Amino acid sequence: MAQKYRIYINDNTLFITHELPAEIGKIQQIEAEGFDFRSFYKNLKNSKQKHYLLLTKNPQSVFKKIKNDLTIIKAAGGLVTNAKGEFLFIFRNKKWDLPKGKVEKGEKMKVAAVREVEEECGVKVEQRNERVCKTYHVYEIGTDLILKRTNWYHMTVKGSPKLIPQVEEGITQAAWIAPYEIKAKIKNTYPLIIDVLKSEKLL
C-alpha cells in the first residue's frame, strides 16, 4: 500500500499521495516531476492557496528526497486526559496548542513525550498509552529549513490536577478543556493540531 504524507508549513498543507484526499475541498495540484521543495516553500509566501497536492506513484520516495534536503528535528507530545475526560491544552504564541517538545540526544520518543508534558504543564503523567499519530511541520531557523517530526501519544493523569504553565517556554496558560469546548478552541490553533484531534475523532 502506498504511503501518504502530510507536511504542514504554517497555515499551509502539502499532501504527498497516490490518490486525491477525500477530506479536502479546494486544493491546488502541483507537478511531481522536477519538484523542488525549497522553491515550493519560497513561493508559498506569495500564494493565497492553502492546500497543495503532489500526486505520485511513489509518495515514500518523494518524501524521502524532501527529508534528505532538510534538517530533521525530532519532537514528541501528548494528548492528555484527566479523570473527568477533559483534555490538556496550552496557550503559546497566541494560539491554543498541545504540549510537546524536542527529543533530547539518546532519549526515546515516548520518554520525551511524557517529560515534555510534565515540564510544560506541571503535572505527573500516570500512564502513557499507544501513539496517536505522527506529524511533520516545516519552518525556518535562520537560513535553515527544519522538518520537525512529532510523535503524539495518549496519556492520562490522576484526578484533575492543578496546571502550572512553563512560562519560560512561552506558555501563558495551561487548561483542562471539556470535549464540547474543543471546537471553540480550534478556531485559534494550527492545522496540525486539528488533524491530531481529528485522528481521535474529537472533531
Write the CATH number for 144: 3.90.79.10
24-28, 95-99, 151-155: the lowest-pLDDT one: 24-28
Domain with 49 in it: 5-69
pLDDT for the residue numbered 1? 46
How much is the average pLDDT of 159-163?
Answer: 97
Q: How far apart are CA 66 and CA 54, in angstroms?
A: 12
Q: Are residues 128 and 147 in the same domain?
A: yes
Q: Is the pLDDT of residue 140 over 70?
A: yes
- Residue 24: the pLDDT is 63
Single residue among 69, 97, 116 that ends a domain in this structure? 69
Confidence at residue 94, expressed as pLDDT on a 0 to 100 scale = 94
Residues 31 and 87 placed together within one structural domain of the fold:
no
The residue among 75 and 45 whose pLDDT is bigger is 75
Residues 91 and 61 in one domain: no
Query: 94 with 64, same domain?
Result: no
Residue 2 pLDDT more than 60? no
Does pLDDT of 174 surpass 70?
yes
The domain boundary residue, chosen from 52, 69, 86: 69
Grid cell in block for residue 185: 478552541
Distant-in-sequence contacts of 59-68, Cβ < 8 A, 24+ apart: 59/2, 59/3, 59/4, 59/5, 59/16, 59/17, 59/18, 60/2, 60/3, 62/5, 62/16, 62/32, 62/35, 63/3, 63/5, 63/16, 65/37, 66/7, 66/16, 66/37, 66/147, 67/147
Are 95 and 190 found together in one domain? Answer: yes
Residue 128 predicted with pLDDT over 50: yes
pLDDT, average across residues 182-199? 92
| DSSP character at residue 103 | P
Per residue in 47-79, pLDDT (tens digit) is 888 889 999 999 999 999 999 999 999 999 999
**Are 62 and 79 in the same domain?**
no
- 84 & 166 share domain: yes
pTM of full prediction above 0.85: yes
d(C-alpha 31, C-alpha 39), whole Å: 13
By percentage, how much of the chain surpasses pLDDT 90?
79
Q: What is the CA radius of gyration of the chain?
A: 18
Of the residues 21, 39, 69, which one is the last residue of a structural domain? 69
pLDDT at 162: 97
Asked if 118 and 164 sit in the same domain, the reply is yes
Does 79 lie in the same domain as 49?
A: no
Q: Do residues 80 and 162 both lie within one domain? A: yes
Whether residue 20 is predicted with pLDDT greater than 80 in this model: the reply is no
110 with 63, same domain?
Answer: no
**The total number of structural domains that make up the chain:** 2
Asked whether residue 10 falls in the same domain as residue 54, the answer is yes
